[in-house]
A and B are shown apart, each in its own frame.
Chain A
């Protein structure tokens, strides 16, 4: 009985883990933003400080979605992203994206700023945001 419980727990953990890593991440903007679709290369310009046309919003530093996002968007790990921003900040060319503490906060900030750009789980999309890029 106990053994089968452990097996079940293990199976469900694996299932959840598998599901979580496969969860799609979407890049979103304010519905009033004229942008309609974007390639990864374009989106990465905002999140890696190469363009200031849109205002990027980050998820919490410790969150899994942040790690997955930069890996899928630009093939970079968190320390590479940090090093990229350190270069931008300490040459006076920009400041780091504001850190949001949850997907709900990202959505709220996007609703309040037509130039904001963020990333959330696809399952969290509603009519307060517009999807311009899906990262499978």
Chain B
């Protein structure tokens, strides 16, 4: 994480006398992760195959370690591409109050390089910052930096949460932060939209055709209060979901309504609460989310709880999480799973950690999904 400062990287002459300099800093993160589904079970005979859009099928029981880009470990295969990645972030300060930030991430799970961050910031005053551009959607507590493994205790945040097809937005946000006593308050409100053509999670895992997904009219906000021990956060967002399946170039709505007819523009509300505690050597992480699509009587509850202990450079963490879908119109097609995990983290060098995690996922979905799987994974995670 050494910050390389190149003062006056670009010095442009504005008019004849005044000089304009850009102060830039670069930092990065990377992880090399290897995993293997050691064993698994399903109602189907093992192994079995699940199929998504043409070109995407998986040997299961399998473990989805990342939904956003579909980083999935297949049955009895030792794989490195699902979660290995490297990211680079550049910050460019044009004036003390005006800056731009770009973060690009290259992942083994897909061949392209993605920018979830690309925005400009204007500091209105000491407490308020206005930003515009593309940012990650801060729905979950760790959404903003879920690819910077070094910064959190698990090998990966539970994928019973942190698993939506849209994870960034194009728009504007206002960030407020203030310190009162030993408490720090951060609040953020945002508005925007996101169009995702050939959405990876939906098309490469859930549907048998290409899916174009848009989250329109997004408005949301979170409030975070933290001190040295506690961190409390509440979040809300409302958006309108638009989804098309694309078959031979023909677009048609892909979400189901009351009588099985295909509909669009489904309103979706997201509520989240999290409480984290770091007290002496103990740590506690908890997060509960409720997602409601009232017009189609479809709700989701996602929750995660972890407790751990840190002794010098070593920490251990036990976690349990669950994802439950309720759907009045398609009760036989709901998704449900829970995961129990044990994580070991070793901070063996400055800015580098080795993590080993065992995950046991129990898949109780009503359709044939990824199955019960036991995943063993190890990851070398670093920041620079």
Decide: A50 and B184 in contact? CB cutoff 8 A: yes
Q: Is B21 positioned at the interface, with any CB of A under 8 Å from its CB?
A: no
Number of interface residues of A (CB under 8 A): 27
Decide: B126 and A45 in contact? CB cutoff 8 A: no
Decide: A82 and B350 in contact? CB cutoff 8 A: yes
A21-75 residues with Cβ-Cβ distance < 8 A to B are: 41, 44-45, 50-53, 61, 74-75
| Whole-angstrom CA separation of A50 from B225 in the bound complex | 11
Q: Is A14 positioned at the interface, with any CB of B under 8 Å from its CB?
A: no
Across the interface, name the chain A residue whose C-beta is closest to B131: A92
30 contacts between A and B (CB under 8 A): A41-B181, A41-B182, A41-B228, A44-B228, A45-B179, A45-B184, A50-B179, A50-B184, A52-B126, A53-B126, A61-B350, A74-B228, A77-B347, A79-B350, A79-B351, A82-B1, A82-B150, A82-B351, A82-B383, A83-B150, A83-B152, A86-B1, A87-B151, A90-B89, A91-B144, A92-B89, A92-B91, A92-B103, A92-B121, A96-B1
Across the interface, name the chain A residue whose C-beta is closest to B117: A92
Across the interface, name the chain A residue whose C-beta is closest to B348: A79
A78-96 residues with Cβ-Cβ distance < 8 A to B are: 78-79, 82-87, 89-92, 95-96
Which residues in A have their C-beta under 8 angstroms from that of B25?
A: 95
Decide: A79 and B27 in contact? CB cutoff 8 A: no
| Whole-angstrom CA separation of A86 from B117 in the bound complex | 15
> Distance in Å from the Cβ of B23 to the closest Cβ of chain A?
9
B110-157 residues with Cβ-Cβ distance < 8 A to A are: 117, 119, 121, 126, 131, 135, 144-145, 148, 150-152
Decide: B151 and A86 in contact? CB cutoff 8 A: yes
Chain B residues with CB under 8 Å of chain A are: 1-3, 5, 25, 27, 29, 87, 89, 91, 101, 103, 117, 119, 121, 126, 131, 135, 144-145, 148, 150-152, 179, 181-182, 184, 228, 280, 312-313, 347, 350-351, 353, 383
Other than the given A82-B150, A95-B3, 18 more pairs (CB < 8 A) read A41-B181, A51-B184, A74-B228, A75-B228, A77-B347, A78-B350, A82-B383, A83-B150, A83-B152, A86-B1, A86-B29, A86-B383, A87-B148, A90-B27, A90-B87, A92-B101, A96-B27, A98-B5
Decide: B347 and A79 in contact? CB cutoff 8 A: yes
Which residues in A have their C-beta under 8 angstroms from that of B228?
A: 41, 44, 74-75
> Distance in Å from the Cβ of B315 to the closest Cβ of chain A?
10
| Whole-angstrom CA separation of A74 from B347 in the bound complex | 19
Chain A residues with CB under 8 Å of chain B are: 41, 44-45, 50-53, 61, 74-75, 77-79, 82-87, 89-92, 95-96, 98-99
Which residue, of A41, A44, A79, has the highest number of chain B Cβ atoms within 10 A?
A79
> Distance in Å from the Cβ of A34 to the closest Cβ of chain B?
16
| Whole-angstrom CA separation of A52 from B181 in the bound complex | 15
Decide: A89 and B313 in contact? CB cutoff 8 A: no
> Distance in Å from the Cβ of A59 to the closest Cβ of chain B?
13
Decide: A86 and B182 in contact? CB cutoff 8 A: no
Which residue, of A44, A85, A89, has the highest number of chain B Cβ atoms within 10 A?
A89
Which of A50, A86, A98 contacts B145 (CB under 8 A)? A86
Across the interface, name the chain B residue whose C-beta is closest to A87: B151
Across the interface, name the chain B residue whose C-beta is closest to A53: B126
* The 8 nearest A-B residue pairs measured at CB: A79-B347, A86-B151, A41-B182, A91-B144, A92-B101, A50-B184, A87-B151, A90-B145
Which of A50, A75, A77, A95 contacts B91 (CB under 8 A)? A95
Across the interface, name the chain B residue whose C-beta is closest to A96: B3
Which residues in A have their C-beta under 8 angstroms from that of B383?
A: 82, 86, 89-90
Which residues in B have their C-beta under 8 angstroms from that of A87?
A: 145, 148, 151
Which residues in B have their C-beta under 8 angstroms from that of A90?
A: 27, 29, 87, 89, 103, 144-145, 148, 151, 383
> Distance in Å from the Cβ of B365 to the closest Cβ of chain A?
33
Decide: A91 and B145 in contact? CB cutoff 8 A: yes
> Distance in Å from the Cβ of A97 to the closest Cβ of chain B?
9
Which residues in A have their C-beta under 8 angstroms from that of B152?
A: 83
| Whole-angstrom CA separation of A79 from B280 in the bound complex | 15
| Whole-angstrom CA separation of A51 from B151 in the bound complex | 19
> Distance in Å from the Cβ of B151 to the closest Cβ of chain A?
4
| Whole-angstrom CA separation of A99 from B25 in the bound complex | 13
Across the interface, name the chain B residue whose C-beta is closest to A95: B25
| Whole-angstrom CA separation of A77 from B119 in the bound complex | 33
Across the interface, name the chain A residue whose C-beta is closest to B99: A92
Which residues in B have their C-beta under 8 angstroms from that of A91?
A: 144-145
Across the interface, name the chain A residue whose C-beta is closest to B182: A41
Decide: A89 and B1 in contact? CB cutoff 8 A: yes
Decide: B126 and A79 in contact? CB cutoff 8 A: no
Which residues in B have their C-beta under 8 angstroms from that of A52?
A: 126
Across the interface, name the chain A residue whose C-beta is closest to B349: A79
